[in-house]
Structure 1
Amino acid sequence: MSMATTPTPTTTASGPTAEQHGIKKHSDGGWGVVPIQTRSERFHSTNVEDFPAITGREATWKYTPVARITELTSSELDGSPYDVTTTDTAGVTIEWVGRDDARVGKAGAPEERASANAWTSFEKALVVSVTGEDDKEFTLTRSELGQGARGAHTIIEAAPFSRATVILQNTGAAHLTENLEILVGESAALTVVTVQEWDDDALHVATHFASVGRDAFLKHIAITLGGGLVRLNPAAHLVGSGSDTELLGAYFADAGQHLEQQVYVFHDAPHTRSRVTYKGALQGVGARTVWVGDVLIGPKAVGTDTYEQNRNLVLTDGARADSVPNLEIETGDILGAGHASATGRFDDEQLFYLQSRGITEDEARRLVVRGFLAEIVQKIGSPALQERLTDAIEAELTALEPSTSAGAETAGPREN
């Protein structure tokens, strides 16, 4: 299915026009294009051919080592169905559906080439349907995707008034680009937890589109511990009055690992609320994390309450964290909006306090990092998964060499 749209950077159906902003096209170089000023005006299409080849100079790709994922952005992909393992949970069903299913494309459409390549390539979409007002937990595991370049499409649909926690567990080998659509019906309460524990050489590029209905609540939690290059971009569209979302993330990058998150929240209805909190730790030469947070408060979103923050703890020399929060406001009638970003090393006072009570420096550092990331892990709501992830983070920390924790390379703004 191809749903290409023609770029119209100077005007949108519901957004402000170039004339309102007072912006004009470039006069030098023969350019006839007005730069896109608003996040919602980005070009989007489900056809990969509508996007030019990626150079790495594009705003959305400038932090990503694009040469490592060329097979996912420029090559043909295997879009066939694959094996999954699921728990048997009352009120949750799964099925493979064709590209013409009415739910495909309801939550959003690709804004960049990797996402469009996955959309162009998938043969069938995997749909997880949630019904019933009782709390329930469902786990879907993917562990046998293999080394071949693959494109995939998944849809999670929560019926009105339903309640559930859906856990997407990713392990093993993978060279994967995919789209996940999340449809949260009226007054539903859905938690989606995606856990990346891929093999060390895995490649994973994903866009998660969420549409949150009237008085509905979505909690989206991304935990990334494994994979050579993982780029996960959640985008939440608050389309119903009173809709609410929390986008949370925790990540731990080791030497040579690139972990990237570009988060987008679009407040497009009145009296909506969002909270974005991502926390990461880095250790080892070449460990790299990227977090870009975009929040757009549209002209209809009166009464919006939003806050986004990113915190990074750099444990050793040779690691780098980039952190870029952005906020756009197109109405003056809001409850509140803010953002913050901080990247730093261990708090010496915390370490001194712990050591003064007989705790060794090595153990003190592990306790600090464990507590730093626990804020996110403890919000999952699944005791078994929380315990397992806490153990996985502890295993990551056993490789930390105290003697190499003296400095760090950081980029991005400090506290705002």
Structure 2
Amino acid sequence: MTTATQAPADAKGHLDPASSLRGAVPVQTRSERPSSFDPADFGAPTGREVNWKHTPMDRLAPLLRDEPADDGAVTVTVASAGAAVSRDLAEGVAPRGTVLIPEDLPSAVASRRVPRADHVRIPAGTELAEPVVVDVVGADAAARAAMHLVVEAEPNSRATVLLRHHGRAALTQNVEIVVRDGAALTLVTVQQWDDDAVHASAHAARVDKDAALTHIVVSFGGGLVRVNPSVELAGPGAQGNLYGLSFADAGQHLESQVYLHHKGPHTTGDVLYKGALQGAGARSVWIGDVLIGPDAVGTDSYEANRNLVLTDGARADSVPNLEIETGDIAGAGHASATGRFDDEQLFYLQARGIAEDEARRMVVLGFLTEIVQKIGIAELADELTAAIVAELAEGASA
């Protein structure tokens, strides 16, 4: 465990995360970010820190208080055929706490305020034909909720876990993912909250030897949604595919800060997040950090973020970062692009008799469907496609 301690009271000029933490000031790179299970070690963020400067702190305020969660603020149900499910994984009992050490205040609050975590375990050598569905439903936007979920794929297992969020809540959440040797796990987290929901979620994963994790973040609903996945490719031959899809409407803030750490040799990583935005005040934030460590020889890694701004008044922030600590790699790169409709595409479609509204719908669907197709759950893919069409129709009528 990495435990942080308080810095001297006269420490000044440090704007990076947890600036009050000794030994972590100033934080120059993503890999130096301090971590602790104790909320007091972080202090209250001001919004000037590098990991908070794009986030509306006033809207996040309910999740920054180290106070007991409200009973019954969210209801969590798990539907599974073939996975072992436990609802009482205590703090300090493995695998809880072996991968996720909180890196910000909301995550530390969630760790402290959840005495018993949900634990989904895929038995060794098992291949599940149907997804494990974890359904999180909130009924009160003023109620403060905390949640900790541990997903463990034992050696040579195969499974998909679908984590869904609905309703109204202020939820701080930890999701801990362990993919053991030779296992293949897909985890899809879908945020379809009501417009007044606030959700801050930290996902931390470790992928062991010759194992593979596909991690997909889909954010459509919620007033403020911040889902930050951190994935360590720890074992030789480990593979990480990190994908994201978002559609921000007027007043929504949808954010993901992605960290992919190539630690073992001959690991491969693919990061692709796509988003669309429409309406006054629609905001998306994507920060991607890839670290290729000194022992990660033979690494092949690429990260990209693409955003399509559909109306005036919407804003997308995109910050890709890449650190390489070894010269012996197969390849590495990053890219980011944010823009409006391609007028040539629209002209091409309209010249063939397609109405402008329909042409725009086709362009947006073509742009976002690349991520939808990676999900691998046919019913969910159809549902998300319909949701995209509905979002576009609502924007056209606004």
* Alignment pair present for 1:353 and 2:351: no
Q: 1:369 to 1:146 in 2, by over 3 A?
A: same
Give the secondary structure class of the aligned counterpart of 1:120.
Answer: helix
**Conservation of the 8 A alpha-carbon contact between 2:167 and 2:193:** yes
Give the secondary structure class of the aligned counterpart of 1:387.
Answer: helix
Q: 1:52-93: CA deviations, max 9, x gaps?
A: 211000000000001111110124141768532333412443
Please point out which of 117, 121, 127 is paired with 2:119. 127
Partner of 1:63: 54
Partner of 1:110: 102
**Conservation of the 8 A alpha-carbon contact between 2:24 and 2:34:** no
Q: When the two structures are superposed, what TM-score results if normalisation uses the length of structure 2?
A: 0.91
Give the secondary structure class of the aligned counterpart of 1:84.
Answer: strand
Q: 1:79 to 1:234 in 2, by over 3 A?
A: farther
**Conservation of the 8 A alpha-carbon contact between 2:100 and 2:176:** yes
Please point out which of 332, 357, 364 is paired with 2:359. 364
CA RMSD of aligned residues (A): 2.0
Partner of 2:272: 277
CA distance in 2, matches of 1:33, 1:231: 23
**Conservation of the 8 A alpha-carbon contact between 1:80 and 1:123:** no
Give the secondary structure class of the aligned counterpart of 1:255.
Answer: coil
Q: 1:107-127: CA deviations, max 9, x gaps?
A: 121111111111121121011
**How many residue pairs align between the two structures?**
380
Please point out which of 236, 244, 248 is paired with 1:253. 248
CA distance in 2, matches of 1:106, 1:176: 23
Partner of 1:207: 202
What are structure 2's unaligned runs of at least 5 residues? 8-21
Partner of 1:266: 261
Higher strand share: 2
Partner of 1:314: 309
CA distance in 2, matches of 1:336, 1:58: 31
Within a 5 Å distance, the mapping from 1:160-309 to structure 2 comes to 160-309=155-304
Partner of 1:13: none
Q: When the two structures are superposed, what TM-score results if normalisation uses the length of structure 1?
A: 0.87
Please point out which of 98, 114, 137 is paired with 1:143. 137
Opposite residue 114 of structure 1, the aligned amino acid is P
* Alignment pair present for 1:93 and 2:91: no
Partner of 2:321: 326
Opposite residue 96 of structure 1, the aligned amino acid is D
Give the secondary structure class of the aligned counterpart of 1:142.
Answer: strand
**Conservation of the 8 A alpha-carbon contact between 1:230 and 1:260:** yes
Opposite residue 31 of structure 2, the aligned amino acid is S
CA distance in 2, matches of 1:316, 1:32: 44
**TM-fit CA distance, 1:94:** 4.0
Percent of paired sites with the same residue: 55
Farther off after superposition, 289-298 or 84-93: 84-93
**TM-fit CA distance, 1:38:** 3.5
**Conservation of the 8 A alpha-carbon contact between 2:2 and 2:34:** no
**TM-fit CA distance, 1:41:** 2.1
Opposite residue 120 of structure 1, the aligned amino acid is R
**Conservation of the 8 A alpha-carbon contact between 2:372 and 2:384:** yes
Q: 1:97-155: CA deviations, max 9, x gaps?
A: 22232211111211111111111211210111112432432211112353311121110
**Conservation of the 8 A alpha-carbon contact between 1:79 and 1:122:** no
Please point out which of 40, 44, 49 is paired with 1:49. 40
Opposite residue 4 of structure 2, the aligned amino acid is T
**TM-fit CA distance, 1:356:** 1.3
CA distance in 1, matches of 2:5, 2:66: 24
CA distance in 1, matches of 2:121, 2:140: 26
Q: 1:53 to 1:396 in 2, by over 3 A?
A: same
CA distance in 2, matches of 1:145, 1:184: 33
* Alignment pair present for 1:5 and 2:34: no
